[in-house]
Structure 1
Amino acid sequence: MFVMAEPEDQTEKNQKSPDGPPSCSCLTTKELQQNLKAVKRNDQPVKLLFEIPSTRIIEKVLSKYVVYEVVVMRSGTFDLRRVSVERRYSDFLRLHRDLLEEFQEELEDVVLPRKLLSRNFCPEAIAGRRLALQDYLADLYATRCVRHSPHFHRFLTQPEQRRAHGLLRAGRFLLAVQQLQDVLEIEEKLLPWQNPTLTVPTLSALAVCYRDLKEPERAFAAAQRALPPTRRYGLNRYRASLLELLVDLGYQLGCPVAQLQEELSLLRERGEVNSHSLKELVVHEFT
C-alpha cells in the first residue's frame, strides 16, 4: 500500500541545515544571550592599555635612579606590536604637574604615587612603585581631557623624538629611522584622541632619512602619508616642502606627479611656499 510521506517539519529542517548559522527562531534564550555578548565585545571601542613589566637601575658617577619600561598597546588582538619607552619617576612627576596646571578639578581623584624618601632601590619598593605607576597611567587615560591633552603624547614620545632628531642632525640616519619608527607606532595608537596632524613631523623626518639613505620608495611613501593631514588641517608649514620632495622623488621613481606639480604651482601663485626644504624644516624640529 502506498503511504504518502508527511511533510518535513520546517523547524527540524532549519536545525539540520548545514549552511550558515541557525536562525534566531531555533536558538535558545541562552544562545541568544551568548550571541549578543559576542556582538557587544566586537563593538567595544578601542582603548589604550599601559603595562610596566620591568624596571632598571641606572648608576652614573653622580646619580642613581630607576627607569620604568612603559608598554603602550591598543586593546584587541589586531595590535600586534607592543611598543615601549623608558621613563623615570621625575618624568611622571613632570607630567602630573603639567596636567594639574590645566585640569586641576578633573584630576582630583587621580593620585600620583608619592616620591620615596628612603629604600628607593629596594626590590619590594620598586615592584610596588611599578604597579602603582601602571595604575596611575590607566587612571590618566580614563580621564577624557588627559587623553586629548598634548601633555599626554609628549610624555610618551618627546624624549625619543628629540633623540631621533639629534641622530638625524648628526647624519646617523639608520639609527634615527629606528627611533622614529617607534615614535610613529605610539603616535598612531594615540591618533583617535590626539591632533590628526600628530604624525606629520615624524613622517617628514622619516622621508628625509630614507632619502639620504638612498631609499626613494620609502621616502616617497612616508611623505605621501604625511601630505593628507597637512592639506586637510592647514599645516602649510610642511605642505609645499612635502610636495617638492614628492615631485622630485616621483620623477626619479617614474610615478605620476602631474597633480602634485599642479598643486605646488598653485601654492606658489598664492605665495604660500616657504624657502625651506623639508630637510631644513626637519633639522630645526625638537632642537
Structure 2
Amino acid sequence: MVKHICCSDCAQGYKPRCTILLVSNSNASPSPNSLMTTKELQEYWRNEKRQCRQVKLLFEIPSTRIVEHHLSKYVLYKIIILQTGSFDSNKSVIERRYSDFEKLHRNLLEEFSEEMEDVTFPKKTLTGNFTEEIINERKLAFKDYLRLLYSMKYIQRSKKFIDFLTRPELQEAYGCLRGGQYTKALEILLEVIGLQERLTRGNPLSIVPTLCAIVVCHKDLENPASAFEYGEKALSRLHVHTSHRYYIPLLETMITLAYELGKDFLSLQEKLEEWKAKKDPIRVFTLKELAVREYVQ
C-alpha cells in the first residue's frame, strides 16, 4: 500500500517536500515496488496512469511530393500523426511511398487475413500515376486506410503496423549513430520517440532501445544532464525487468553519469552489485555497443 506522508507545506498549498512510503501488509505478498526509491515509484505511477488513458491518433495526409532519380520516379505522401482529445504540440511527420503502403498491406494480410477481409487498398494503375487526380485520390484513400487500420486493436498494436510508422526513421537514426553522426541521429530519435510512445503505450519496454540510443548520443555529444534524464526514463521501464539486455549496460552508464553530475551514484552501484551477486558472470556489452547493433541489416 502507498502511504503519502504530508508535511506542513502540503496543507498550505506549497510545493510539497513530503515523502511517499510503501507500507507493507503483513498478510500481503512482497511487491517488487517495495524496492523502488521514491523517484522511481513516482515515475512508475506516472507511466501506469499514462497507460490507462486511451490514446487515439488521427492521421492526415495534407500533401505529396514527386521524387525523381536517374532510374526511378515515385510519389511521397506526407503523413501527419496527431493525438486527439487534447492539444498535441508534438505531432509526428513522416513520408511514405505507394510501395511502402503496399508492403504493409501484404504483411498485414498474412497475419490478419480475417480482420483485413473488408479493407480495400488503392490498386496500381498502368498509367496516370503522377497525375493530380490519381495522387489526390490516393491521398484520401491512404488517410482512410490508416484510420481504419488504427481502429482495429490487434492491428494497431502489431509490430508490422508500428514498424511501418517508425522503422524507416529509426533505421536512418541508427545508421547515423553507427557513422558517428550523433547530432543527426539524436535529431531523428527525438522526433520518433514521441510517436513510439503513443503507439506502444501498453508495452513500455519496446521503447527502451530508443531511449538508450538517445542516452548514447547525448553522452557522446557531452550533454551528461540530458543523457541522465533519458537514462532515468529507460531505467523506470526496466526496474522489474533486470534480465533485459539493456539493464546492466544502462545501469553502468548511469553510474558514470551520476558520478560526473554529482548525483547519487551509490544506490545505482548497489543495484549493480546486487545483480552481479545473483547472476553468473556473462559477457555484457556496453550501452553504445548494444545501440550500434540495433537495426543492422
CA distance in 2, matches of 1:50, 1:186: 12
- In structure 2, what is the equivalent of residue 258 of structure 1? 266
Q: Superposed, which structure 2 residues align to 1:72-83 within 5 Å?
A: 72-83=81-92
Unaligned runs of 5+ in 2: 1-52
Measured against aligned partners, the alpha-carbon deviations of 1:157-192 in whole angstroms (never above 9, x if no partner) come to 100001001111111110111100111011012133
Displaced runs of 4 or more, over 4 A: none
Tell me, what secondary structure is at the counterpart of 2:63?
strand
1:97 alignment partner AA: R
Q: Paired residue for 1:225?
A: 233
The number of equivalent residue pairs is 243
Distance 1:86 1:272, change over 3 A: farther
Q: Tell whether 2:280 aligns with 1:271.
A: yes
**What's the TM-score, normalizing by structure 1?**
0.81
Percentage of identical aligned residues: 45
For structure 1, list consecutive stretches of 5 or more residues without a partner in the other structure: 1-43
Tell me how far apart the structure 2 counterparts of residues 164 and 57 of structure 1 sit (CA, whole Å). 24
Match of 1:160 in 2: 169
Q: Distance in 1 between matches of 2:243 and 2:90?
A: 29
Pick aligned residue for 1:116 from 125, 128, 138: 125
Q: Which amino acid aligns with 2:252?
A: E
1:239 maps to 2:247: yes
Who is 1:206 aligned against? Answer: 214
What is the correspondence of 1:86-235 to structure 2 with a 5 Å cutoff?
86-193=95-202, 195-233=203-241
Relative distance call for 1:175 and 1:84 in structure 2 (3 A) is same
Instruction: Give the Cα–Cα distance (whole angstroms) in 2 for the partners of residues 205 and 70 of structure 1.
Output: 25
Using the TM superposition, name which of 59-68 and 266-275 deviates more.
266-275
The answer as to whether partners of 2:259 and 2:265 remain within 8 angstroms in 1 is: yes
Give 2:149's aligned amino acid. L
Larger radius of gyration: 1
Partner residue in 2 for 1:38: none
1:145, 1:51 → 2: CA distance?
21
Closer, same or farther in 2 for the Cα pair 1:232/1:54, shift >3 Å? farther
Residues 235 and 98 from structure 1, CA distance in 2 versus in 1: closer, same or farther, beyond 3 angstroms?
A: farther
Which secondary structure state, in structure 2, belongs to the residue aligned with residue 255 of structure 1? coil
